Amino acid sequence: MVIQNLIAPLLIFSCILFSPIKFSKKYFANNDATVLKNDTTHYPDEKHFKNIRQLTFGGDNAEAYFSYDGKYLIFQHKDEKENVLCDQMYIGKIPTADNEKFEPRMISSGKGRTTCGFFTKDGKHIIYASTYLGGDSCPPVPDRQKLKRYIWPVYDSYDIFMADLNGKIVRRLTDTKGYDAEATLSPDGNKMLFTSMRDGDLDLYTMDLTTYKVKRITNTLGYDGGAWFSPDGKKIIWRASRPKTQEEIDDYKNLLSKGLVAPTNMEVWIANADGSDAKQITNYGQANWAPNFLPDSKRIIFCSNHEYKRGFPFNMYMTDINGNGLEKVSRDNGFDAFPMFSPDGKKIVFSSNRNNGGTRDINIFIADWVE
């Protein structure tokens, strides 16, 4: 299916001695964001974007997130043409002038698969998940043709690590059996919000980064992941699957026992920062995921394919925190996702299939945000 080709490279939850990599000219040569024929960086109806700029050119580039000072991005990159065979962590300074290039460097070692990078508040460290303790090579991906369905692997070798900006791991943050990944940090930098299977299901947990004490904050059967704190620190938002019938429950549990999930039905949930007063705020069907807050903490932005019975495109949408007032934000005909606003609220960064010359490349874009 085409949709598998669009999102699979990004969502296979995707060590540390700094290891530079040689890029081909293709990766950096087009930093002037040249628009290709029949392709574009900015669609006419995208009224919330201004001065959009393409930062990467080639491969799969996803989950690009700002540092707390808004000057740097961390993201995951994969490109077999560059011998980057599965997602690795990169950081790069955001250009401040038109003639300044975006020149990221790999900060993970190239061992295993990595995903979900995030800067710490002090700007001197990063956190991310990696499978490298389970082996140097890329972990195997599910045979979707054999399974006859769209499936994500949930690697039990994923753990979350903290590294300095030279790539040296300074602390292993999780060491329980099973999947630990999808970490983000609170606005004050003191708490980590992440997904773990330590208690038998894919639930959300918080970790105090001073005491390293962990607290489980979701308890309902289903996949809870991709969670974020609101900018004011009072709320959290995430995507969740909620199997309801006995057939759905049995299927979910059977897949999970094999380290797999089927992410084709997900909705957006919101709760207080401690997990209390949890409620579902979308009910569109299909896949509604990659949610995040707008700078005012009163609105959300998320990715969805609910408009399209065939399962794609994926576009970004905006509502208030109660799920009201749906507005379509992005318009690519393939894939727009992983939005994050800069700390000052003036810019948005996201990943997209746009302007890829008809390839399946997913690149990172940054734009001024227009209310």
Map the chain to HEC letters. Answer: CHHHHHHHHHHCCCCCCCCCCCCCHHHHCCCCCCCCCCCCCCCCCCCCEEEEEECCCCCEEEEEEECCCCCEEEEEEEEHHHCEEEEEEEEEECCCCCCCCCCCEECCCCCCCEEEEEECCCCCEEEEEECHHHCCCCCCCCCHHHHCCCCEECCCCCEEEEEECCCCEEEECCCCCCCEEEEEECCCCCEEEEEECCCCCCEEEEEECCCCCEEECCCCCCCEEEEEECCCCCEEEEEECCCCCHHHHHHHHHHHHCCEECCCCEEEEEEECCCCCCEECCCCCCEEEEEEECCCCCEEEEEECCCCCCCCCEEEEEEECCCCCCEECCCCCCEEEEEEECCCCCEEEEEECCCCCCCCCEEEEEEEECC
Task: Please write the tens of the pLDDT for every residue from 289-332.
Answer: 999 999 999 999 999 999 998 888 999 999 999 999 999 999 99
More confidently predicted of 19 and 146: 146
| Region 14-40 average pLDDT | 39
More confidently predicted of 15 and 284: 284
Task: Please write the tens of the pLDDT for every residue from 231-242.
Answer: 999 999 999 999
Task: Please write the tens of the pLDDT for every residue from 35-62.
Answer: 344 589 999 999 999 999 999 999 999 9
Confidence band for 148, pLDDT divided at 50, 70 and 90: confident
pLDDT recorded at residue 316: 98
pLDDT recorded at residue 38: 58
Going along the chain from its start, the domains and CATH numbers come out as 2-369 (2.120.10.30)
Average pLDDT score, the chain: 90
* pLDDT over 50 at 160, yes or no: yes
Give this prediction's pTM: 0.90
* pLDDT over 80 at 14, yes or no: no
What percent of the chain is modeled with pLDDT above 70?
90
* pLDDT over 50 at 226, yes or no: yes
Task: Please write the tens of the pLDDT for every residue from 242-252.
Answer: 999 999 999 99
